[in-house]
Amino acid sequence: MIAINLEGKTALVTGGSGELGRAMVRTLASAGADVIVHFHRNLRMAEALVAEVTRAGRRACAVQADVTDAASVEAMRDTAAHAAGLPDIVVANAVIQYDWTTVLDQPTEDFEGQFRSCVLQSVLLAKAFVPHMVKNKWGRFIGINTECAMQCTETQAAYAAGKRGMDGVYRVLAREVGPDGITVNQVAPGWTISENHPDSKDSRGYREHVPLRRRGTDQEIANVVAFLASDLSSFITGAFIPVCGGNIMPTV
């Protein structure tokens, strides 16, 4: 039987205390990984996840950082190295939340914020953690993108701009570190059901345009992350993988 086995690996999930992050932390741990739970403000949830993972028999620690700030990311690296060891798997999941509106009405600060949390976060995480992967000749660098990067519909400008910029970084990084045995991939969720965002009648219009006629769940996103973190995906790199029921379909 083929199974995802991450025993002996350590994973860092940024935004690990958030809605999607929680599912990723739990799923990576259930596959055998030790987990570094990054949080920005939600210490209580991060500590609860650490306790949950520890009870399940894996090592875990919570680390606070501003992932858009170089010094803070470097401090997170040093803290993680001492508490759990440097990660073999990095999942860039954190993102700045903001109110969506039109290009003409969107504050310029929101465009800058999306650049910092999508593009700059990825660059800073790569600088901090990829050298360890290069040294070990094995690593998984996974970014959480979005279906919006391909949709580019009204009011998505700042988010789509940040995620499309992130996409460029990941494709280049995949070419640069591939010779060192490191894969670099992106998971692009659709409008996802999670603990605090259940399905509702308001999403009917969205679901009608999804070929599978439903919204995905946080667990379904986490499943793909775990697959990309494992040796089952050893020959996949530079990929942009939609997990949105076919709502977007990248083509050649």
Quick: pLDDT tens for 154-185: 999 999 999 999 999 999 999 999 999 999 99
- Mean pLDDT on 205-212: 94
Per-residue pLDDT tens digits for 4-40: 999 999 999 999 999 999 999 999 999 999 999 999 9
Q: Let me know: does 153 contact 102? Beta carbons within 8 Å.
A: no
Q: What is the pLDDT of residues 51-91, one digit of tens each?
A: 999 999 999 999 999 999 999 999 999 999 999 999 999 99
Find the helix or strand (DSSP H, E) in which 30 lies.
helix 19-30
Predicted local distance difference test score (pLDDT) of residue 36: 98
- Show the tokens assigned to 36: 């570094």
In the prediction, which pLDDT does 63 show? 98
Q: What is the pLDDT of residue 52?
A: 97
Q: 61, 46 in Cβ contact below 8 A? A: no
| pLDDT tens, position by position, 185-207 | 999 999 999 988 888 877 889 99
Q: Is pLDDT above 90 for 229?
A: yes
pLDDT value at residue 115? 98
Instruction: Return the structure tokens found at 143.
Output: 């970014």
Q: Given this model, what pLDDT does residue 94 score?
A: 97
Query: Which one from 98, 159, 170, 206 is the annotated catalytic residue?
Result: 159
Can you list the domains of the chain with their CATH numbers?
Answer: 10-243 (3.40.50.720)
pTM: 0.96
Convert the pLDDT of each residue in 130-152 to its tens digit: 999 999 999 999 999 999 999 99
Does position 2 have pLDDT exceeding 80, yes or no?
no
pLDDT of residue 203: 85
* 60-64 and 139-144 beta bridge pairing: unpaired
Active site residue 170: no
Dig out the tokens for 94 from the structure: 């954190």
Give CA angle at 209 (203, 211), nearest 5°.
115
From residue 177, give the alpha-carbon distance in Å to each of 70, 95, 124, 217. Answer: 21, 24, 15, 31
pLDDT band at 1 (very low <50, low <70, confident <90, very high): low
Query: Which run of H or of E encompasses 141?
Result: strand 139-144
The pLDDT score that the predictor gives to residue 195 is 84
Residue 92 contacts by C-beta under 8 Å, 6 or more apart in sequence? Answer: 14, 67, 121, 122, 125, 141, 142, 143, 144
d(CA 93, CA 175): 21
CB 74 within 8 A of CB 128: yes
